[in-house]
Amino acid sequence: MSTPTDSEVKLISDEPQISDELIIKQQQCIDNEISQNIPLVGKKLYVTEALLSEYSQDEVYQKKVIQLSESYSHLRRMRPDGNCFFRALSYSTLEQLIGKPEEAKTFRSKVENSKEKLTQAGFTQFTIDDFYDQLIEMVDKVIGGLDAEGLEQEFEISQLAEYLVVYLRILTSAELKNSAEFYQNFVDGITLEEFCQLEVEPMYKESDHVQIVAITAALDLTVRIVYMDRGLGANHDFPDVEGQTPSIHMLYRPGHYDILYPKQRTKSDN
């Protein structure tokens, strides 16, 4: 067996690096395509219109879409970039306050109070002010009469939408840190501080159970997640309080969240 030449040895040693570079470039291409072709927040579509064509070759999911459409009339897609949960939460919260100035003022007070949670957790004013101010400004626009079309247009502005996501992420982190004794029980293998640094604060990181528990507690929100996968599926309410009807509904498919709109009940439904 011949001995490899120096150049052959170099090629072999470089293979993992070349492979990593290719993977990074491929991911960047995918991310660029997503950002160019998929809006941050999509239009409101009928559930069947939005999902049946997506699963045209999958009978299992087609049945699940039909079942979903029995409880929910519409769906609004979020860009699948890892920020979808927080973007859906910010959009749905503001959307539900449209035409309800008193409720919007109450929510504004919750946002104002949330700033103290951030300073308590060690975030500096310099770090949080721009993101906090952007959320307050959006709530004030709703109080001032912003309509549904106007909200859609606001979320077409990338910087605005992303600032809201950043604020919700750091507020989630603050909630976790301020109640570390409780939340550490949900985190395995790393400290809560590490979890916040690795999984909560960075943009484009997917959100899971712990993040949802924390942000709903921080802003006193009620969220129902409807899980749709090849299993039995389920609904999970945050917080899970008997007799409480969540105000925000989301569809979760592995790795992604979209906004759901419950069907309006009529007298004949009762």
Active-site positions read 81, 84, 256
Task: Tell me the DSSP string of the chain.
Answer: -PPPPHHHHHHHHHHHHHHHHHHHHHHHHHHHHHHHHS-SEEEEEEHHHHHTTTTTT-HHHHHHHHHHHTTEEEEEEE-SSS-HHHHHHHHHHHHHHTT-HHHHHHHHHHHHHHHHHHHHTT--HHHHHHHHHHHHHHHHHHHTT--HHHHHHHTTSHHHHHHHHHHHHHHHHHHHHHTHHHHGGG--SS-HHHHIIIIISSTT----HHHHHHHHHHHT--EEEEE-SSS--EEEEES--TT---SEEEEEETTEEEEEEEPPP-GGG-
Encoding tokens for residue 116? 């103290």
